[in-house]
Amino acid sequence: MNTNDAMIKVFVGCDPNNCDLEQMMVLDYSIHKHTQQPVEITWMQLSSDANSPWYSNATTDEGWHTEKWATPFSGFRWAIPELCNFEGRAIYMDTDVIVLCDINELWSHPMEDKAIVVAKGGSSTARLCTSVWDCSKAQQYLPTLKQMRADPTGHKKLMQLIKEKPQLVQPYQDSYNNIDGENLAIEEIKVLHYSDMGTQFSHKYALPRLQATSQEHWFDGTIMPHPRQDLTELFDQYYQEALSAGYLLENYVVEPYGSFSKATQINYHGNKVTRSTAESSWLANTLKTIKSKFSKKSNFTLDD
């Protein structure tokens, strides 16, 4: 497939209430820093506009049903082929990503005949948080946009489909979706996905910004430092470079969507890369104990 002259379409899942501005700016800058190819970015955010493909209205039971999602955008990735009219290719990314290579490498990755998506995966699992869709081939396996929006369990069902049909996924080099470092040097990472929601580099910028206007971040779990100082410094470097290059947080601001339903992350304990097994178990047990006390004693305080 000759993709050298094509517009690279990138769809990015992000928060609808301006919590992810820092992530959006850094991702946007990092993509353009490393490529000469034309890139079109579509920010996928919940919308109150009935004409938007990301429309959701819990009051009227219309649009996307998000209550079982871990993030405000978990199920959006499945809509991408239809939104591209089932033509050509499209890249999907979560917003907590820094691109460290020419994104054209990912865009033009070989794909076998049976595969509908290029992603990080093995024989039984696939991580679609950075992936390349063949929009035409995906059509026969995906529900319509209307069906997906109406089904709260749709995201889970489609992940199960991918698990049951591993031939649909063309595996790529792991470093195109490097999860929180994975013991690689920065020079070996092509796309860094700082996936642990509790240790994301952007929190130190976003949380004070939101606090200043009495807003809350959508992630309701415990915030912890990232174990890789070099990756923390890398994010800071790209953040400052983006600002120096004329990228501004306000360029990504939208009219806030407001409250939405999603699965709580109160018991979230990260991943094996960012936290040791012992630490994860300790955190999970501690939160479980606190939760139990709250349910048994309505007057429980931290002094108990």
- Residue 2 counted as domain residue: no
CA distance 87 to 77: 15
Res 218: pLDDT: 86
- Residue 174 counted as domain residue: yes
- Residue 220 counted as domain residue: yes
Query: Do 66 and 162 share a structural domain?
Result: yes
Query: Do 114 and 46 share a structural domain?
Result: yes
Phi, psi of 121 (to 5 degrees): 180, 165
CA-to-CA dists, residue 144 to 47, 64, 86, 221, angstroms: 19, 12, 11, 33
CA distance 70 to 291: 19
The DSSP-derived string for 103-134 is: HHHHHT----TT-SEEEEE-SS-EEEEEEEEE
Query: Do 163 and 32 share a structural domain?
Result: yes
Query: Do 278 and 248 share a structural domain?
Result: no
Res 71: pLDDT: 86
Query: Do 176 and 289 share a structural domain?
Result: no
Query: Do 194 and 281 share a structural domain?
Result: no
Query: Do 295 and 156 share a structural domain?
Result: no
- Residue 265 counted as domain residue: no
Question: Whose CA is closest to 157, among 143, 168, 146, 169?
Answer: 143
Query: Do 16 and 162 share a structural domain?
Result: yes
Residue ranges making up the domain that contains 36: 8-252
- Residue 288 counted as domain residue: yes
- Residue 117 counted as domain residue: yes
Query: Do 295 and 244 share a structural domain?
Result: no
Query: Do 278 and 180 share a structural domain?
Result: no
Q: Pick left, alpha or beta for residue 180 (phi over 0 → left; psi -120 to 50 → alpha; otherwise beta).
A: left
Round the average pLDDT of the chain to a whole number and report it: 88
- Residue 43 counted as domain residue: yes
**Exposure letters 3-23 (e unless 16+ CB within 10 A, then b):** eeeeebbbbbbbbbbbbbbbb
Question: Whose CA is closest to 30, among 217, 245, 249?
Answer: 245
Q: Provide the CATH number for the domain around residue 163.
A: 3.90.550
Query: Do 279 and 235 share a structural domain?
Result: no
Query: Do 220 and 137 share a structural domain?
Result: yes
pLDDT in tens, the chain (304 residues): 445 568 999 999 999 999 999 999 999 999 999 999 999 999 999 999 999 999 999 899 999 999 888 888 999 999 999 999 999 999 999 999 999 999 999 999 999 889 999 999 765 677 899 999 999 999 999 999 999 999 999 999 999 999 899 899 999 877 999 999 998 999 999 999 999 999 999 999 999 999 999 998 988 888 989 999 999 999 999 999 999 999 999 999 999 999 888 878 888 778 888 886 435 544 555 566 666 655 544 443 333 3
Instruction: Please answer whether residues 156 and 68 qualify as being in contact, where contact means their C-beta atoms are separated by less than 8 angstroms.
Output: yes
- Residue 29 counted as domain residue: yes
Number of domains in the chain: 2
Give the contacts of 180 (CB within 8 A, at least 6 positions apart). Answer: 193, 194, 195, 196, 199, 226, 228, 231, 271, 273, 274
